[in-house]
Structure 1
Amino acid sequence: MTSFLDNTHDLVGAVLDGVLLSPELVELSTGGGGRVVLRNDWRSDNGQVAVLSGGGAGHEPAHARFVGPGMLTGVIVGEVFASPSVGAIESAIEAVTGTAGCLLVVKNYTGDRLNFGLAAERCRAKGLKVEVVLVGDDVSLEGMQHPRGLAGTVLIHKIAGFYASKGASLASVAERARDSAQQLRTVGLALAPAQMPGQLAPKQQPALGLGIHNEPGAHHTSVTSARDAVQQVVAALKLPREEGNWIVALNDLGGCSPQEREVLAAALVAELGHSAIDLLIGPAVMMSALGMHGFSVTTLPSTPELIEALSAPVNLSAWPAGISPQQPQHRKAPESRDNPIDPDQPRDTAIEAKLSNVAKTLIDHTNDLNALDGHSGDADAGSTFAAGANALLKVLEHEQLGSGDAALLTAQLARLLERSMGGSSGILLSMLLTAASASLSAGESLPNALANGIEKVTYYGGAHQGDRTMLDALIPAVALLQQGKSLEQAAHAAHQGAEHTAQMKATAGRAAYVPEDAQKGHMDPGAKAIALIFAALVE
């Protein structure tokens, strides 16, 4: 199965079943040949022009997801990539049209032109006021008598819907929509074609100007980057740069990731220039093509009236709010509130000697700890602890630690380890020492402060004693210190706790995902490191 749609027998019906979950929408029963979705709150006697659009399915969220106040009154949906029937279109026109009349927004494809056109003529013959606006915004193929209707159609939905909602006459709404449609320019580029459900995707090179129904593009191309793709599309748009600023829409044809969309948007704005774009709509999926891996760019000459129409808020999740793009802004971070490392802070040379011994011990055991980590991880635990140890030796060498103040020292060590040690070990030790520093500042003893730090590590880290982590050495050692036992006794307890991990099954941390047999008989490297730290403090 290559798609969740592969075994969907009635694709259009299945898609509309999802769309119609919205209580703002209702389906109009017709005689077949198309499905009609309307605004549930629409009344033909409300004095407003109705705006209808539609076409083949496969372009979602167009067209049904743009039905709502301020945009479309309703849509007529055909089968995949196929125009709806004349009868279905005619039924929709009759259902929504009052004295104000109805505007049909039609993409410039033969089937849509014929079917919507005949339905319009039939309804005119019945006395209804109906106007038709054709959208042919594709400029990738020069000399086309009937350029294709692409994502620019959605902008016309918004423009027409805006003026209709303001009570403009049918002639005025049609004129504004028609004038805008004639100025639209759209070019797309796709790395891969649309994927028809249940069919193998055709092999195809990247194409510039590929149609939204897999029609051939202007030509095949090669693409080296998002910026290169954008440059090709902008060049194909052939924008008359001297004619002022632009409204620009960036449409995902359905197969781009969110990350690709953002990269393409940044490249597009950089290519056109921030100052040349008054309104950027997207990046978003507006007019898709069954997951086609590509995008299209639509431009429209900017005017205050069009910006107002396209910026007016609508309660439709598929319509992306436009922005006036700016240069990326940066703000300087506030000064850190950490206690700075200062040579004039109180020092205790005896404590510094012990810290130096701890650092040198960890460095000497780098390979041993890496080897232990190789049984449950990526064999870098020793290197991680050594990185923190080397950073500690450096500040000791420059006499930059407030070693004579326990609260200050633990805070400084916490920041040092966070910055110098990679992985979770550095964060966990930093968390422990940060919490211990706060407790020491509040008057707690060092053993109780360390115990409070362990509580934070347990809470945020999710591990407990017995889970085969550094806590199996740390918790028994600190518990003895709380009982008033000696540092030598605590170091012995840490050593025993580390040894016991060799027979434990890991239930927390990265090692929990490693088969138990691979760890059996080997100490947890974090617990071993804690035992080494306590042993070095005793020496």
Structure 2
Amino acid sequence: MKHFINAKNNIVTESLDGFLVATLTDGLARLDGYPHTKVIVRTDWDKSRVALISGGGSGHEPAHAGFVGAGMLTAAVCGEVFASPSVEAVLSAIMAVTGEAGCLLIVKNYTGDRLNFGLAAERAKILGIKVDMVIVADDIAIPDADQPRGVAGTLFVHKIAGYLSKKGKSLEAIKKAAEATISVCYSIGLSLDSCTVPGNVKDDYLGQDEAELGLGIHGEPGFSKIALEEADKLMETACQKLAAVVAPGNYAVILNNLGSVPPLEMNILVNAYMRTELAEKTSMLIGPAHLMTSLNMNGFSISVLVLDDARKEALLADVGASAWPGICVPEKVKIIKMPGEEYKKDYKPSRNQTVEAVLRGVCNMLIEAEGDLNFLDSRIGDGDTGSTFGGAARSILAVVDGLPNNESCELYMALSRIISRNMGGSSGVLLAIFFMASGKS
């Protein structure tokens, strides 16, 4: 698979330097430890407050460096792609940002992360540094898992702990709030394809008619392979799994792009989510956005947090971290009346079986040829000719019995209006002009 990289062993260091050049977050730097120590820190940090450190393997950008900033993390420790950072790297971050108030490590529940962050914490304690740790295990994909994975729900912990740190709360109070947040946080992912580590061969283990429910953020196997269905049904499948385990209450929800889902499709997934039972209890929506990705995985994840007044206050607080997209309060789509007399039907229906048969025949032929026309157009253009003509054909078929089929000029004018309303692109306007000119002749 093709990637925009230089040397494979420099991927993370070059990516982090690019991030620091382009970030909108003020006051960020990296520790001088490349290539073995890859740590992003705040340069404006007040050590009288509790420092918050998170991290893990790279490949999940913008997590975690994108969440370093006022009101969220103090430092992010980055490993190689999908590999936990070393003990020394974590310890260097602790020593760089921790003062007398102490430090809380926020760790996703993976063996490497637990061991490396945990040992770094023990070594820091030997040095007299006040440090504690919480483990996030929000993935509910695999029932009765002894060690549920930590995924995008970790960002709720970053946000709430960051708010409390900014307010000057103690390490003990922040840890307690973080653990309470973790206890009511639930996540699940769904993907149409796995991810590909740069330099590796793409693994096409999912068929064209398959999706995977509960795929991990490193490409680990999920709960089950499922049939590829419409977006509404896939979203409902994921939300049913969540609804079976979430505690009652009102929810904040993260809709996370796992990598390569286009914005067009992510918005369709938002719309699909708003039709689910969970949406009725959702008062805060974060995303859709790239928040905790899995390289180029073609999938999404949903994280649900049960809210109380304290968590609401923390989530709504402003932050300086560039990757946090803010909070949306979901509302019904507002619709206003469309102006324009040109959209009114100003003709009387009339019947002509021969004309109607021709219209149906042409429209059905265009619909049947949709795939072939798209393929041919993709060889020289943008591959949408079949869809464009097919859409126009469907709109005509929907009203064919009500057209002025026995009055040629009126029929041409009616077809011009239908096409100009329902068919975009150059072909749409050209056909609209053609039928309008025919109707006037």
Aligned to 2:53: 52
CA contact (8 A) 1:5 1:198 kept: no
Which residues of 2 match residues 237-248 of structure 1 at below 5 A?
237-239=242-244, 243-248=248-253
Aligned to 2:125: 124
In structure 2, relative to structure 1, the CA distance for the partners of 1:40 and 1:419 (3 Å cut) is same
Aligned to 2:364: none
Aligned to 1:30: 33
In structure 2, relative to structure 1, the CA distance for the partners of 1:86 and 1:271 (3 Å cut) is same
CA contact (8 A) 2:71 2:321 kept: no
Aligned to 1:17: 17
Does 2:251 correspond to 1:250?
no
| 1:313 CA displacement | 2.2
Aligned to 2:382: none
Does 2:222 correspond to 1:221?
no
CA contact (8 A) 1:278 1:324 kept: yes
Cα displacement string for residues 98-152 of structure 1 (whole angstroms, at most 9, x for unaligned residues): 1111111001111111111111111112221111011011111122221111111
In structure 2, relative to structure 1, the CA distance for the partners of 1:192 and 1:5 (3 Å cut) is farther
Residue identity matched to 1:141: I
Which residues of 2 match residues 364-513 of structure 1 at below 5 A?
394=410
| 1:421 CA displacement | 11
| 1:317 CA displacement | 3.3
Aligned to 1:62: 63
CA contact (8 A) 1:37 1:64 kept: yes
Cα displacement string for residues 224-243 of structure 1 (whole angstroms, at most 9, x for unaligned residues): 11112112211222445772
Aligned to 2:365: none
| 1:35 CA displacement | 0.3
Residue identity matched to 2:264: Q
Aligned to 2:186: 185
In structure 2, relative to structure 1, the CA distance for the partners of 1:92 and 1:419 (3 Å cut) is closer
Q: Tell me how far apart the structure 1 counterparts of residues 262 and 183 of structure 2 sit (CA, whole Å).
A: 31
Which residues of 2 match residues 172-321 of structure 1 at below 5 A?
172-205=173-206, 206-239=211-244, 243-321=248-326
- Consecutive unaligned residues of structure 2, counting only runs of 5 or more, are 347-384, 386-405
| 1:282 CA displacement | 1.0
- Consecutive unaligned residues of structure 1, counting only runs of 5 or more, are 343-377, 379-389, 398-414, 431-469, 471-524
Q: Secondary structure at the match of 1:174?
A: helix
Residue identity matched to 1:234: C
Cα displacement string for residues 161-185 of structure 1 (whole angstroms, at most 9, x for unaligned residues): 1111111111111111111012211
In structure 2, relative to structure 1, the CA distance for the partners of 1:121 and 1:328 (3 Å cut) is same
Q: Tell me how far apart the structure 2 counterparts of residues 422 and 221 of structure 1 sit (CA, whole Å).
A: 35
CA contact (8 A) 1:6 1:198 kept: no
Aligned to 1:480: none
CA contact (8 A) 1:249 1:281 kept: yes
Q: Give the number of the structure whose alpha-carbon radius of gyration is greater.
A: 1
- So what's the TM-score if we normalise by structure 1? 0.62
Does 2:44 correspond to 1:41?
yes
Q: Tell me how far apart the structure 1 counterparts of residues 317 and 423 of structure 2 sit (CA, whole Å).
A: 51
Q: Tell me how far apart the structure 1 counterparts of residues 12 and 41 of structure 2 sit (CA, whole Å).
A: 16
Residue identity matched to 2:270: A
Q: Secondary structure at the match of 2:202?
A: coil
- So what's the TM-score if we normalise by structure 2? 0.76
CA contact (8 A) 1:251 1:283 kept: yes
Q: Tell me how far apart the structure 2 counterparts of residues 166 and 160 of structure 1 sit (CA, whole Å).
A: 10
In structure 2, relative to structure 1, the CA distance for the partners of 1:32 and 1:125 (3 Å cut) is farther
Q: Tell me how far apart the structure 2 counterparts of residues 62 and 222 of structure 1 sit (CA, whole Å).
A: 30
In structure 2, relative to structure 1, the CA distance for the partners of 1:416 and 1:2 (3 Å cut) is closer
Q: Tell me how far apart the structure 2 counterparts of residues 183 and 341 of structure 1 sit (CA, whole Å).
A: 55
More helix by share: 1
Q: Tell me how far apart the structure 1 counterparts of residues 103 and 70 of structure 2 sit (CA, whole Å).
A: 15
- Tell me the number of residue pairs that the alignment of Structure 1 and Structure 2 aligns: 373
Q: Tell me how far apart the structure 2 counterparts of residues 143 and 255 of structure 1 sit (CA, whole Å).
A: 30
Aligned to 1:438: none
In structure 2, relative to structure 1, the CA distance for the partners of 1:31 and 1:274 (3 Å cut) is closer
Q: Tell me how far apart the structure 2 counterparts of residues 422 and 134 of structure 1 sit (CA, whole Å).
A: 52
Q: Secondary structure at the match of 1:192?
A: coil
What value does the CA root-mean-square deviation take over the aligned residues?
3.5
| 1:24 CA displacement | 2.7
| 1:272 CA displacement | 2.7
Residue identity matched to 2:19: V
Residue identity matched to 2:280: S
In structure 2, relative to structure 1, the CA distance for the partners of 1:129 and 1:7 (3 Å cut) is closer
Sequence identity, in percent? 43
Aligned to 1:328: 333
Does 2:143 correspond to 1:142?
yes
| 1:189 CA displacement | 1.2
Q: Tell me how far apart the structure 1 counterparts of residues 85 and 422 of structure 2 sit (CA, whole Å).
A: 64
Residue identity matched to 1:129: K
In structure 2, relative to structure 1, the CA distance for the partners of 1:17 and 1:229 (3 Å cut) is same
In structure 2, relative to structure 1, the CA distance for the partners of 1:274 and 1:188 (3 Å cut) is closer
Higher relative contact order structure (alpha carbons within 8 Å, sequence separation ≥ 6): 2
CA contact (8 A) 2:253 2:303 kept: yes
Q: Secondary structure at the match of 1:251?
A: strand
Q: Secondary structure at the match of 2:63?
A: coil
Residue identity matched to 1:149: G
Aligned to 1:160: 161
Q: Tell me how far apart the structure 2 counterparts of residues 221 and 54 of structure 1 sit (CA, whole Å).
A: 32
Cα displacement string for residues 302-349 of structure 1 (whole angstroms, at most 9, x for unaligned residues): 21221221122223332122212122221223576x9x999xxxxxxx
In structure 2, relative to structure 1, the CA distance for the partners of 1:332 and 1:167 (3 Å cut) is same
CA contact (8 A) 2:151 2:217 kept: yes
Q: Tell me how far apart the structure 2 counterparts of residues 259 and 65 of structure 1 sit (CA, whole Å).
A: 23
In structure 2, relative to structure 1, the CA distance for the partners of 1:158 and 1:420 (3 Å cut) is closer
CA contact (8 A) 1:256 1:293 kept: yes
Aligned to 2:88: 87
In structure 2, relative to structure 1, the CA distance for the partners of 1:122 and 1:230 (3 Å cut) is same
